[in-house]
Amino acid sequence: MKIIKSIKLLRKEIASLRKKGKTVGFIPTMGYFHEGHLSLMRQSVKENDVSVVSLFVNPVQFGPKEDLSRYPRDMKRDASLAAGAGVDILFAPSVAEMYPSELLTHVHVDALSDGLCGAFRSGHFSGVVTVVAKLVNIVLPDVMYLGQKDAQQAVVIKKMIKDLDFALRVKVCPTLREPDGLAMSSRNIFLSPTERKEAAALSKSLRLARQKILKGESDASKIVSQIKKLILDETSASILYVVCVSVADLKPVRRIEKDVLLALAVKFPSARLIDNEIVTIKKRC
């Protein structure tokens, strides 16, 4: 696996691969890899001639009071895990390489960026789609792999790709979980042992809600209340949001008649966690 830190060198490498007719899969990440990241890498390796992973903790998507400086980093371990997953190129630029001068251009996806996490993290999705637009422009992949774990992020990025006619396909891959159901996340290491135990309640609440919907409950507010109650009963976290929204446009749903996204964010004293579940509705007769 090649580790490349310069945009110029990466472009040269990709151009030469393209000349040979190679297809390119791309996985944007902020590093500190876990099985969730590795599953995206393996999927790309399976489906493309060449797989490129970017490792860049993007300062533009962090708010002033967020955890940019303490975001976990371990380049050596990440490089060895990516190589083990079959990745060909690890692109790990510095902040100065990505933002050599003051950034005056931002990509913003209206409406889809405003609710859910966007309501609590002002400017976050603008920072995400701006860096993804830059990375896609540098790597020029055929396919980009994203995780369902970050459901809103996937919806926002897909809309940007569509609206701006970027020539690539996006594949959203399933959320990988710990044995007790907790969605894998680089931030899980911040959790205290008690918080880590309690955090299993997040996926549990979503799973139970899903079962209730599949058994016929169609009142979204009841489902949301049940999720909130279970989290408040079983954890010390404060709830930032729990929503039941349309999968396509993230708009709140009152009656559950089509596929919905149940999504939540909570704040433990040590870390902010998100999780979600898509519930596919078979036509009721």
Q: So which residues are the catalytic ones?
A: 37
Q: Which stretch binds ligand AMP (CB under 6 A): 32-40, 72-80, 102-110, 235-243?
A: 32-40
Picking from 206, 188, 165, 184, the residue whose alpha carbon sits closest to that of residue 271 is: 188
- 3-state SS, one letter per residue, for 196-224: HHHCHHHHHHHHHHHHHHHCCCCEHHHHH
**CA within 13 Å, CB half, 281:** 18
How many residues bind ligand AMP (CB under 6 A)? The answer is 17
Burial class from Cβ neighbours inside 10 Å (0-12, 13-18, 19+) for residue 70 reads exposed
Return the number of the residue (178 or 217) whose C-beta is nearest ligand AMP: 178
Choice from 25, 36, 118, 127 touching ligand AMP (CB under 6 A): 36
Pairing state between β 143-147 and 24-29: parallel
Return the number of the residue (185 or 235) whose C-beta is nearest ligand AMP: 185
Smallest separation, CB 243 to ligand AMP (Å): 18
Smallest separation, CB 72 to ligand AMP (Å): 10
Task: Count Cβ atoms below 10 Å from residue 131 Cβ, excluding itself.
Answer: 22
Return the number of the residue (88 or 256) whose C-beta is nearest ligand AMP: 88
Smallest separation, CB 222 to ligand AMP (Å): 28
Q: Which of residues 118-157 bind ligand AMP (CB under 6 A)?
A: 146-147, 149-150
Task: Count Cβ atoms below 10 Å from residue 115 Cβ, excluding itself.
Answer: 17
Tokens of 111: 């409406």
Return the number of the residue (150 or 195) whose C-beta is nearest ligand AMP: 150
Return the number of the residue (29 or 235) whose C-beta is nearest ligand AMP: 29
Picking from 10, 81, 74, 80, the residue whose alpha carbon sits closest to that of residue 40 is: 81
Smallest separation, CB 229 to ligand AMP (Å): 25
* Sequence-separated contacts (24+) of 212-218 with Cβ below 8 Å: 213/256, 213/260, 213/279, 213/281, 214/279, 216/284, 217/256, 218/255, 218/256, 218/257
Q: Which stretch binds ligand AMP (CB under 6 A): 30-38, 218-226, 251-259, 265-273?
A: 30-38
Beta strands in the chain (DSSP E): 2-4, 24-29, 50-55, 89-91, 143-147, 169-173, 238-246, 260-267, 272-279
* Range 241-250 burial, b when 16+ CB lie within 10 A, else e: bbbbbeeeeb
Interaction of residue 30 with ligand AMP, rule CB under 6 A: yes
Return the number of the residue (43 or 220) whose C-beta is nearest ligand AMP: 43
Site map (CB under 6 A) of ligand AMP, residues 155-194, x = contact: ------------------x-xx------xxxx--------
Residue holding tokens 């472009």?
11
Smallest separation, CB 226 to ligand AMP (Å): 24
Interaction of residue 24 with ligand AMP, rule CB under 6 A: no
Q: Which stretch binds ligand AMP (CB under 6 A): 31-39, 162-170, 199-207, 273-281?
A: 31-39
Smallest separation, CB 168 to ligand AMP (Å): 14
Residue holding tokens 């040979």?
20
- Interface with ligand AMP (CB under 6 A): 29-30, 36-37, 39-40, 146-147, 149-150, 173, 175-176, 183-186
